Amino acid sequence: MTIIEKILAKHANLETVKPDDIIDVFIDTRAARDFGGANVVKNLLDNGLSINDPAKTVFTFDCNPGGSDQKYAANQHYCRQYARENDIKVYDVDSGIGTHLAIDSGLVWPGSTFVSTDSHANIMGAIGSFGQGMGDQDIAAAWAKGFVWFKVPQSVKINFTGKRPVNVSAKDIVLNLLGIFGANKLLGTSVEIYGEEADRLTLDERITISSMATEMGAIIIFFTPTAEIINRFEIITEKPIELIKADVDAVYERVFDINISKFEPMVAKPGHPHDDTSVASVKGTKIDSAFIGSCTNGRIDDLRIAATVLKGKKIAPGVVLKVVPATNAIWNQAMDEGLIKIFKDSGAMVSNAGCAGCAAGQLGQNGPQEVTISTGNRNFEGKQGKGFVYLASPSIVAASAVAGFITTPDQLPSEPATFGKLGILKPSIKSGSGTKTEKPSVVQGKVWIIKKDDIDTDMIYHNRYLTITDIKEMGQYSFDNLKDYEDFAKKAKAGDIIITSKNFGAGSSRQQAVDCFISLGISCIMAESYGAIYERNAINAAFPILTYQPEIIEQIGLNDGDTVKIDFLSGEITNLQNNKSARINKFYDAQYQIYKNGGLL
């Protein structure tokens, strides 16, 4: 078996598992954040569910550690009250990013299982642990039962060959991989990385690479733990750790040999983490701001690298550099090592630990037309603000902040770039003034054909609306961040059907990206493939989603606006304009059971 198959089999009390098996997996640690935490509690209370094991259950407040938004503060307090009543530990606003806290405090260990409302919970692959981001209903079920259902994924093996160039960081490695595989070529797979250069990666470097599995569409990116990592966790957990590694005869869906010596320093261009290019190709691009932090690059090694570049230098005039350590312990270590002083002396702003730029209301957001270079993991339009976000490594971000434009540490200018008076600002001109019901197995409705790959959850339901918990209010915001479909919610009718392309629902674990369509009365969605978390959220909410082969559109002569009939159980789709039919993938058994039940809970 592969690494993921061994971990899942052990936690399902099975001798073996294979891809596509649907199993109940015991979860060692079950977390909820201030993103989604209030909804987890609401689901538990509304369904009369109790906590299976408080000792294995935690809150982590990392999305808005300042509680600077009133609704966030209310949700955090709501979760604190629930924690007090149920003896649940809270890693509060002074702690840092929940997934990093889990690693550093021993809530996870090699071979363990972990779930969270954080879509980057698969960062645990860095230590050879199974981690998954899940939606509110999944986490509520895990808290109440201790188990979650899971479909065993196919595994993919990547072998690094050649020598890693000295100027290529861990962030450059993952951006090069994104350039090769994009956002959906590894969709829904468990990835294992091997090779001499992989073995040499530090824990912090492994965390950087594993943290962007979500952006690659993968379930998780695994590294086999080194003896040093095993020893580290034996000390933290005070118990022996069994090394779980793939068998020599493990079966992989695909194997890739990739020459890492050809990798180069990279940036992701604004809009998509997989739209990657060499730093050289964008060198000289003027920036307004820079950000160092996130679950991808907020570790102590990242801060040391940035401080090495910044020491004795000043941030370029007019440029803002924001630095956010991943955890409070890392913050304190950075202070002890003198890194915080280097950042402050350079003119940077240093915030308390947390996720920062990925969440609205936190340090790291940018304004309209603002150009930011960031060490974050996502740069979807609107994700880190209203401007344009390039993704890069800590050394490149620090060098760019000093130069005032995108560059590398070895190509710093003698004088930084300055801002000219462009006259682009103009005055604004004002104009004149939960009940369970019988679910149908056949639906019909008008189709919306949206031919776009990688429609992410910020396009479906933007993070600025995430404090809304009433599903009746959600429909009006459906697709309002998807270009050319901003008025979708006003035009859509109850019973309409959405047909789209690959990797629908990429991105975060937000349940609202499903619930907004339920609110509108959309009868189902057909896509070539789905983001892994989105697929679970839809199934758990009893919202019908199906997959199809793209040729059936032409086969049944389907056009935008046609009316179709879809049978969930047989997989038959009929274009009622011409009565042509074809087969798509029908509901699988577990999906249908949850659908009939009216939802997971």
pLDDT tens per residue across span 202-258: 999 999 999 999 999 999 999 999 999 999 999 999 999 999 999 999 999 999 999
Q: Mean pLDDT of all residues in the chain?
A: 93
Tell me: the pLDDT tens digits for 482-500? 999 999 999 999 999 999 9
Say if residue 235 is in the same domain as residue 368. no
Tell me: the pLDDT tens digits for 108-140? 999 999 999 999 999 999 999 999 999 999 999
Q: Cα(228)–Cα(231) distance, rounded to whole angstroms?
A: 5
The string of DSSP codes covering 107-147 is: SS-TT-EEEES-TTGGGGGGGT-EEEE--HHHHHHHHHHSE
Q: Does the residue 429 lie in any domain?
A: no
Whether residue 360 is predicted with pLDDT greater than 80 in this model: the reply is: no
Which pLDDT score, from 0 to 100, does residue 305 have? 97
**What average pLDDT does range 435-444 have in this prediction?**
85
Q: Are 386 and 371 within 8 A, CB to CB?
A: no
Tell me: the pLDDT tens digits for 530-568? 999 999 999 999 999 999 999 999 999 999 999 999 999
Say if residue 155 is in the same domain as residue 200. yes
Whether residue 73 is predicted with pLDDT greater than 90 in this model: the reply is: no
Q: What is the CATH number of the domain that holds 111?
A: 3.30.499.10
Domain interval for residue 552: 442-596
Tell which of 228, 262, 296 closes a domain.
262
Say if residue 469 is in the same domain as residue 401. no
Q: Cα(336)–Cα(55) distance, rounded to whole angstroms?
A: 32
Tell which of 262, 287, 315 closes a domain.
262
Tell which of 262, 296, 327 closes a domain.
262
Q: What is the CATH number of the domain that holds 479?
A: 3.20.19.10
**What average pLDDT does range 504-518 have in this prediction?**
95
Say if residue 513 is in the same domain as residue 456. yes
Q: Are 375 and 212 within 8 A, CB to CB?
A: no
**What average pLDDT does range 253-275 have in this prediction?**
94
Q: Does the residue 417 lie in any domain?
A: no
Say if residue 79 is in the same domain as residue 152. yes
Number of domains making up the chain: 3
Which pLDDT score, from 0 to 100, does residue 433 have? 43
Q: Are 405 and 284 within 8 A, CB to CB?
A: yes
**What average pLDDT does range 194-199 have in this prediction?**
97
By percentage, how much of the chain surpasses pLDDT 70? 97
Say if residue 463 is in the same domain as residue 396. no
Say if residue 43 is in the same domain as residue 184. yes
Confidence band, pLDDT 50/70/90 cuts, at residue 570 = very high
Say if residue 255 is in the same domain as residue 293. no
Q: Mark 220-244 as b/e (b = at least 16 C-beta within 10 Å).
A: bbbbbbbeebbebbeebbeeebeeb
Confidence band, pLDDT 50/70/90 cuts, at residue 306 = very high
Q: Cα(63)–Cα(17) distance, rounded to whole angstroms?
A: 35
Q: Does the residue 601 lie in any domain?
A: no
Confidence band, pLDDT 50/70/90 cuts, at residue 357 = confident
Q: Does the residue 430 lie in any domain?
A: no
Confidence band, pLDDT 50/70/90 cuts, at residue 425 = low
Which pLDDT score, from 0 to 100, does residue 359 have? 65
Amino acid occupying residue 358: C
Which pLDDT score, from 0 to 100, does residue 65 have? 74
Q: Does the residue 434 lie in any domain?
A: no
Q: Does the residue 433 lie in any domain?
A: no
Q: Does the residue 337 lie in any domain?
A: yes
Whether residue 431 is predicted with pLDDT greater than 50 in this model: the reply is: no
Distances (CA, A) of 600 to 43, 173, 220, 313: 11, 38, 23, 55
**What average pLDDT does range 317-346 have in this prediction?**
96
Of 135, 139, 154, give the one whose Cα is nearest residue 17: 154
Q: Does the residue 437 lie in any domain?
A: no
Which pLDDT score, from 0 to 100, does residue 435 have? 57
Say if residue 194 is in the same domain as residue 337. no
Which pLDDT score, from 0 to 100, does residue 430 have? 52
Say if residue 98 is in the same domain as residue 39. yes
Tell me: the pLDDT tens digits for 461-482? 998 898 888 999 999 999 999 9
Say if residue 248 is in the same domain as residue 285. no
Which pLDDT score, from 0 to 100, does residue 432 have? 45
Say if residue 233 is in the same domain as residue 323. no
Which pLDDT score, from 0 to 100, does residue 106 have? 96
